[in-house]
């Protein structure tokens, strides 16, 4: 049993023209990229790198079942795509990249260029990658180069050579190991000793990313900076048995005191968890309805009689009736949205396994859907590949909120998502943008943050 906790952040420099994030986190795959080429061409190189590595890696993993081979093929495919893009637009561009994939207690990693990967174990910081730059390759390069910026030009990267020197390495992980991934804008300003000091001092992963970026800015860096931190937690089988024995004993004692309900809750099966989620969605719907009717104004019998006698309605009475009708319509719409979210959740769970059912899941998405650079077809392929690598998937959705009704046919829904599968577990906040089509509500955009 393993858990990965992570935080990644890209901070855009005040004079930077780059707009997109320089990282991608997908299941147990983590990517950090830096672009080269100036202007929008950096963004193009970074976006292509993240998109193709992610898609190619999981496709190859499902075929060869070997993370190191899948990583090597993914970087090779990406290199060809960026070279093809360079020829098409007739402008130089390249990408520096570091990639890590965690399977069980093993990290498979590779890099090209000057994006680095570190590990922190106890109080020891280890730099696992070596910068592939002119300065690193030639110790006295600064003496012969007229432009100091060329010292940091990378000799290896995506989009530079037809056959880049791709090497995939392994690192055995232990309990509480930290993995730190970053672009060169941090490492050229902040020393390894300072990275170690801050990593030992700040235990919150998100705050550590922010603190490292702030330190980079304080030392004069104005370009984009990306930092990512992953914490690996693992319960070994022997320890897990002891913990489970203690837990079961304590649970039996508590159940004897407070009643059978606590034990019954712990022993619930998969269907019960799904029923619990359905009940939670229904309760949320009821609360939304109640909140809509708090300020509802009732028309008294006297007013109703008067209306029926005269056959006419005053402006005030028309407004009251119209408001009540609108509130009922909104409440009905909320019911439909909550029912759709529950349908989407169960369809996602059913994509697990080699015989996972993908059609019901992808039918929840609009034909105009796009997320992480993938359109509906690419999203379908990506989820189908990932689903085949999992024996089961379980989702629990909490704090479902319709935060913004943009129009009658377009809403934004946010919630806390607790995702569990046979090879990955994690919690995150999710935002869905829904649009109402002829066949019902569909997902137009999706974002995890």
What are the structural domains of the chain?
2-234 (3.60.40.10), 237-266 (no CATH), 273-286+330-448 (3.10.450.50)
Tell me the pLDDT tens digit for each residue of 247-280: 777 777 776 665 555 444 444 444 444 455 445 5
Pick 379 or 298 by higher pLDDT.
379
pLDDT at 319 over 50: yes
Pick 147 or 423 by higher pLDDT.
423
Instruction: Read off the pLDDT band of 121 (50, 70, 90).
Output: very high
The reported pTM is 0.54
The whole-number pLDDT of residue 303 equals 43
- The number of angstroms, rounded, from the C-alpha of 412 to the middle of its chain's C-alpha atoms is 18
The whole-number pLDDT of residue 239 equals 52
Instruction: Read off the pLDDT band of 132 (50, 70, 90).
Output: confident
Tell me the pLDDT tens digit for each residue of 71-116: 999 999 999 999 988 888 888 888 899 999 998 889 999 999 889 9
Residues contacting residue 148 through CB under 8 Å, at least 6 positions apart: 142
The whole-number pLDDT of residue 148 equals 52
Strand bridging mode 2-11 / 440-448? unpaired
The whole-number pLDDT of residue 137 equals 61
The whole-number pLDDT of residue 322 equals 52
Least confident stretch, 132-136, 155-159, 218-222:
132-136
Query: Residue 441's closest CA among 315, 344, 319, 316?
Result: 344
Alpha helices, H only, 202-300? 205-218, 237-258, 261-266, 270-292
Tell me what the pLDDT averaged over the chain comes to: 79
Pick 445 or 91 by higher pLDDT.
445
Phi, psi of 123 (to 5 degrees): -115, 20
Tell me the pLDDT tens digit for each residue of 321-350: 454 555 555 555 788 888 999 999 999 999
The whole-number pLDDT of residue 207 equals 95
Only one residue has tokens 């990408």, namely 95
Instruction: Read off the pLDDT band of 283 (50, 70, 90).
Output: low
pLDDT at 297 over 50: no
Secondary structure letter of residue 91 according to DSSP: S
Residues contacting residue 84 through CB under 8 Å, at least 6 positions apart: none
Tell me the pLDDT tens digit for each residue of 378-436: 889 888 888 888 889 999 999 898 876 656 688 899 999 999 888 888 888 999 999 99
The whole-number pLDDT of residue 151 equals 52
The whole-number pLDDT of residue 425 equals 81
The whole-number pLDDT of residue 449 equals 76
Tell me the pLDDT tens digit for each residue of 160-209: 888 888 999 999 999 899 999 999 889 989 999 999 999 999 999 999 99
The secondary structure of the chain in percent helix, strand, coil, rounded to multiples of 5, reads 45, 30, 25
pLDDT at 298 over 50: no
Instruction: Read off the pLDDT band of 293 (50, 70, 90).
Output: very low
Q: State the Rg of the chain over Cα.
A: 27
Least confident stretch, 13-17, 38-42, 95-99, 389-393:
13-17
pLDDT at 53 over 90: yes
Phi, psi of 243 (to 5 degrees): -65, -45
- The number of angstroms, rounded, from the C-alpha of 58 to the middle of its chain's C-alpha atoms is 16
The whole-number pLDDT of residue 328 equals 54
Do 54 and 26 form a contact (C-beta atoms < 8 A)? yes
The whole-number pLDDT of residue 173 equals 92
The whole-number pLDDT of residue 305 equals 39
The whole-number pLDDT of residue 39 equals 65
Phi, psi of 31 (to 5 degrees): -130, 135
The whole-number pLDDT of residue 13 equals 74
pLDDT at 242 over 90: no
């Amino acid at each position: 049993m393993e858990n990965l906790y992570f935080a990644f952040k890209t901070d855009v420099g005040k004079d930077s023209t780059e707009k997109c994030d320089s990282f991608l986190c997908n299941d147990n795959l983590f990517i950090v990229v830096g672009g080269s080429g100036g202007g929008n061409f950096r963004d193009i190189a970074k976006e292509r790198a993240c998109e193709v590595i992610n898609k190619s890696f999981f496709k190859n993993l499902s075929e060869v079942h070997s993370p190191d081979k899948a990583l090597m093929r993914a970087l090779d495919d990406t290199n060809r795509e960026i070279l093809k893009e360079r020829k098409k637009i007739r402008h130089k561009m390249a990408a520096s990249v570091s990639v890590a994939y965690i399977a069980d207690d093993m990290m498979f990693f590779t890099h090209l260029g000057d994006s680095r990967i570190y590990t922190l174990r106890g109080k020891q910081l280890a730099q696992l990658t070596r910068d592939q730059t002119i300065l690193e390759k030639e110790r006295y390069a600064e003496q012969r180069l007229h432009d100091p910026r060329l010292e940091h030009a990378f000799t290896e990267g995506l989009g530079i050579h037809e056959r880049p020197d791709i090497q995939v390495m392994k690192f055995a992980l232990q309990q509480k190991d930290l993995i730190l991934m970053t672009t060169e804008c941090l490492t050229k300003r902040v020393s390894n000793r300072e990275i170690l000091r801050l990593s030992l001092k700040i235990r919150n992963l998100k705050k550590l990313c922010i603190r490292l970026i702030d330190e980079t800015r304080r030392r004069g860096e104005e370009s984009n900076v990306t930092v990512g931190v992953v914490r690996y937690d693992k319960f070994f089988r022997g320890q897990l048995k002891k913990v489970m024995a203690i837990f079961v004993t304590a649970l039996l004692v508590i159940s004897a005191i407070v009643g059978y309900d606590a034990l019954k809750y712990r022993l619930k099966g998969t269907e019960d968890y799904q029923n619990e989620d359905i009940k939670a969605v229904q309760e949320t719907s009821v609360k939304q309805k109640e909140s809509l009717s708090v300020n509802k104004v009732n028309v008294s019998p006297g007013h109703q009689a008067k209306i029926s006698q005269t056959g006419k309605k005053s402006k005030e009475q028309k407004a009251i009736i119209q408001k009540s009708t609108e509130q009922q319509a909104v409440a009905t719409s909320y019911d439909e949205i909550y029912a759709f979210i529950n349908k989407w959740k169960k369809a996602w769970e059913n994509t697990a396994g080699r015989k996972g059912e993908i059609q019901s899941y992808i039918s929840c998405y609009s034909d105009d859907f796009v997320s992480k650079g993938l359109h509906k077809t690419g999203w379908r392929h990506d989820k189908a590949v990932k689903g085949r690598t999992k024996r089961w998937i379980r989702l629990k959705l909490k704090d479902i909120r319709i935060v913004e009704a943009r129009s009658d046919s377009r809403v934004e829904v946010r919630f806390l998502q607790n995702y569990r599968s046979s090879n990955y577990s994690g919690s995150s906040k999710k935002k869905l943008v829904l649009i109402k089509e002829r066949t019902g509500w569909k997902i137009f955009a999706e974002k995890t943050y």
